Amino acid sequence: SAVISQKPSRDICQRGTSLTIQCQVDSQVTMMFWYRQQPGQSLTLIATANQGSEATYESGFVIDKFPISRPNLTFSTLTVSNMSPEDSSIYLCSVERGQETQYFGPGTRLLVL
Amino acid sequence: GQQVMQIPQYQHVQEGEDFTTYCNSSTTLSNIQWYKQRPGGHPVFLIQLVKSGEVKKQKRLTFQFGEAKKNSSLHITATQTTDVGTYFCAGPEKGNTPLVFGKGTRLSVIA
């Protein structure tokens, strides 16, 4: 099984600022995924991050708002830029555990004031 | 695009009662997956069903995949307080990723 850690675990931010979330995996993985889960809602995929290439963004999410880095096979960052209260969510990274199933990190709980 | 629907949205049961949540996809799925998210936690993988009509059991949990590979159900027998959480189904469209998650069923168990 993969062990995934995320930093920070939670944060309270002012609108207009940016926050970078880190995701570290204890083994090398090809694909890492970033999800958003708004309060009481389901999981929505933001983007897929592959090492050595640009992230692939889902409809409704753009690189300027959610820039992603994937410098190696065990690490990725997601930045939430120019935040507004609507960005208050849980942000989760995940990795494939095999056969298209996923392990999720513990999440970053973000509150934007 | 693909949509995955779950019902009910909420379910409150007395401890010991049974519970079922249903999942329906707008498109045929290559597989269906179930995840559980405890309050304040993150989604944890429970099981994956791949074959048409497949049924799998994990102790008190029974998972089914429909013959048309467009629907699934999770049934919990004799619920316990440890079953509390939100249960999500998820599936990739046939031959594609990423996963599309249903909205989840939030289960409350009253002791």
CA distance A58 to A60: 6
Contact A59 B101 (CB under 8 A): no
| Partners of residue A99 in chain B, C-beta under 8 Å | 31, 48, 50
CA–CA min distance B41, chain A (Å): 7
- Which pLDDT score is estimated for B2? 77
> What's the pLDDT tens digit per position in A32-89?
999 999 988 999 999 999 888 889 999 999 999 999 999 999 999 999 999 999 999 9
Separation of alpha carbons B49 and B58, rounded Å:
13
Burial level of B91, CB count in 10 A (0-12/13-18/19+)? buried
- A67–chain B nearest CA distance, Å: 19
A102: chain B residues, CB-CB within 8 Å: 45, 99
Other Cβ atoms closer than 10 A to B99: 26
**Looking at the partner chain, which of A48, A97, A107 has a beta carbon nearest the beta carbon of B98?**
A48
Gap from B106 CA to chain A (nearest CA, Å): 9
Across all residues in chain B, what is the average pLDDT? 94
DSSP letters for B68-91: TSSEEEEEESS--GGG-EEEEEEE
DSSP state of A72: E
- How far does A55 lie from chain B, in Å, by closest CA? 13
Q: Judge whether B102 is closer than 8 Å to chain A, CB to CB.
A: yes
> How many angstroms separate the CA atoms of A70 and A80, rounded?
15
Is residue A97 within 8 A of residue A29, CB to CB? The reply is no
Residues forming a β-bridge with B47: B34
A15 has a chain B CB within 8 A of its CB:
no
CB within 8 Å: B45 and A101: yes
Residue B67 CB neighbours (<10 A): 10
Q: Residue with structure tokens 């599936």? A: B91
CB proximity list for B26: less than 8 A, separation 6 or greater: B2, B3, B4, B5, B70
* Residue of chain B whose alpha carbon sits nearest to that of A58: B98
User: How do the pLDDT tens digits run along chain B, 111 residues long?
Assistant: 778 999 999 999 999 999 999 999 999 999 999 999 999 999 999 999 999 999 999 999 999 999 999 999 999 999 999 999 999 999 986 655 678 899 999 999 999
Q: Tell me what pLDDT residue A23 has.
A: 97
